[in-house]
Structure 1
Amino acid sequence: MNTTSVQSTSLWAYLQLTRPANVLTAWADILLGYAAAGQITQIQSVLAGEASLMALAPLGWLLLTTTGLYAGGVVFNDVFDAELDAIERPERPIPSGRASLRGATLLGSGLLVGGVLAAAQVSLISALLAIGVAIAALLYDRGGKHQNILGPINMGLCRGGNLLLGVSAATALLPNRWFLALIPIAYIAAVTAISRGEVQGGKRETGILALVLAGMVLSGILGLGFLPMYDLTAAIPFVLLFAGLILPAFVKATIDPRAETIRNAVRSGVLSLIVMDAAIAAGFAGWIYGAIVLLLLPVSIFLARLFAVT
């Protein structure tokens, strides 16, 4: 193999570590938070020619922030799991030798630092939230994921904090929108709980827990309809799509908790994050905005065919 081929293979391996398909689900969190913060008016002003593209600079910085934080977090997941992956998943970039442990550590560190620096371009509050998300991600990667109860909550906090990063585009609204973070916390806790058996198989009890949490998430989204600023009618089509994607997969993994079935459920769960975010965003900003968020899904599905999701 010539030098160019070796370099190309190495770059592809490092790109695999960042799980690009998953990163788009983090973008959806930001777009949801941005809508919940009432910033849809900024987009409307730009489209109407009443404001320049610079009005959307905070959104751009926050998308860069979540790209760095999420990609950096999943890279460190593989860094900390290098020895275990050598046994259970020897095809992964680090144990296969296609990516070095040192190179992955530098990549993950650079992504996390870059994410925090991007957040600092929006506000100090955004930067502090980014630091919190980065710390939560590292705690999960280092050992939190091995905790039966704290692990799923830890991972959920990462996604909840990511949503609040989107809200931080209008920091004054954070005290009034913080509760929205509870929805992704509960949902990610469900996905994380069921993912425990994606290597060696799981337990039906875990699947039942995931289904209960998924039911709570759906109830929480529907409950937003009681808020005066939330249009549940616009959200309903997205909610139905969300339920149709996750419930069958979770039920199947509960009835048949083999590793392959669970991996499929986790894959559906991760990609459906975009649908969940689109459902909530539609209620705050209208069905067109929800549809725009949903457009991330086919792109994420395409990338999931090229890169690992779990």
Structure 2
Amino acid sequence: MRKKIMGFARLARPANLPTAAADILAGAAIADFFSINNDFVAITDDASKLILLVVSSICLYAGGVVFNDVFDAKLDAVERPERAIPNGVVSLRQAVLWGSLLILVGLILALNVTLLSGIIALVLTASIFSYDAYFKQFGFFGPLNMGTCRGLNLMLGMSIIGDITTWWVAIIPVLYIFAITLISRGEVHGNNKNHIIKAAVMYIVVVVLLTLAIGIYTTNLLWALPFLFLFVVLIFRPLWKAYRINSPENIKKSVIVGVVSLVVIDACWAAGFSNIYVGLAVLLLLPLSLVLSKLFAVT
């Protein structure tokens, strides 16, 4: 029984789930800044809505990665036989039911926040399935689709006020996840230096855009700078190592750090568009994600 439970848990990628929660907190901070001018009313006045969105996002993310393994079951039997489905811990049918339950719960919770939240959750679900079932095989549209999922997740957090006027901020996570997905293309066989170079350029663009967004729209750039510095150090060190020694192991480490560092991006948003205390609260999800990454696979 314990082995079965662990199999279901492994399918949901627990180490990645704090990053989904961080997106919601960051999105709520951004939306609140532009509507109430940085009092973070979204949390203090209606915490129940925020909690619903956080759990919704976690369920949608978990359901998405479960279905990723469902669609990849035949390939994983050859390339990643240690995963829960190919090694027989969880059957394909059980995985489909598990993923469907997670997606359904995520949609219901989002619909109970605002109509806009429900619509974004539906679009996010469609984007998740389009990636899992089809677009992941393409060199450009696969990473773009994956990035779009993360951008929509940030917008899901912003939808807490029932309106989104600053949709453009979602471009930044789209670019960032595009870069990580590019890097992951060499995770099994290595030999992806060209992808790493492209990803490094996109990382730089992400850092510049994030800095400009906070610097132009807020007066809190100094609060966000420590988070930005941490983000830069975290993502570029393993990327440089993966470039120098282009092995599957180093590439995988770069991808893992890239994924968990989403929490740091979200902490930047929160510190910039709310205050440093909210930024630190979001950043607390990073050690949780890192601990879980030691116990469960990230990719």
Answer whether TM exceeds 0.5 for this pair.
Answer: yes
| Alpha-carbon distance change, 228 to 92 in structure 1, aligned in 2, over 3 angstroms | closer
2:219 and 2:52 mapped to 1: Cα distance? 26
**How many aligned residue pairs are there?**
295
Q: Deviations over 1:224-250 (max 9, x none)?
A: 134333511110000000000001111
Give secondary structure in 2 for the equivalent of 1:108: helix
Task: State the TM-score, normalized to the length of structure 2.
Answer: 0.95
Q: Is the 8 A contact 2:42 2:160 kept in 1?
A: no
Of the structure 1 ranges 298-307 and 227-236, higher mean CA displacement relative to structure 2 is found in 227-236
Q: Is the 8 A contact 2:28 2:42 kept in 1?
A: no
Identity %: 43
2:215 and 2:8 mapped to 1: Cα distance? 45
Q: Which residue of the partner structure matches residue 16 of structure 2?
A: 22
Q: CA RMSD in A?
A: 1.4
Give the AA of the match of 1:123. Answer: T
Larger Rg: 1
Q: Aligned pair 1:38/2:38, yes or no?
A: no
Give secondary structure in 2 for the equivalent of 1:13: helix
Q: Aligned pair 1:110/2:101, yes or no?
A: yes
Structure 1 residue 19: deviation in Å?
A: 0.6
Q: Which residue of the partner structure matches residue 159 of structure 1?
A: 150
Structure 1 residue 192: deviation in Å?
A: 0.3
Q: Which residue of the partner structure matches residue 90 of structure 1?
A: 81
Structure 1 residue 143: deviation in Å?
A: 2.2
Q: Deviations over 1:249-291 (max 9, x none)?
A: 1122223221111000001100101011101211001111100
1:153 and 1:206 mapped to 2: Cα distance? 14
Task: State the TM-score, normalized to the length of structure 1.
Answer: 0.92
Gaps of 5+ in 1: 1-6
Q: Is the 8 A contact 2:42 2:50 kept in 1?
A: no
1:158-307 correspondence runs (5 A): 158-172=149-163, 174-175=164-165, 177-307=166-296
Q: Is the 8 A contact 2:32 2:42 kept in 1?
A: no
Give secondary structure in 2 for the equivalent of 1:238: helix
Q: Aligned pair 1:129/2:93, yes or no?
A: no
Q: Deviations over 1:97-134 (max 9, x none)?
A: 00010000011011111111100011111011001111
2:75 and 2:42 mapped to 1: Cα distance? 49
Q: Is the 8 A contact 1:224 1:232 kept in 2?
A: no
Structure 1 residue 45: deviation in Å?
A: 8.2
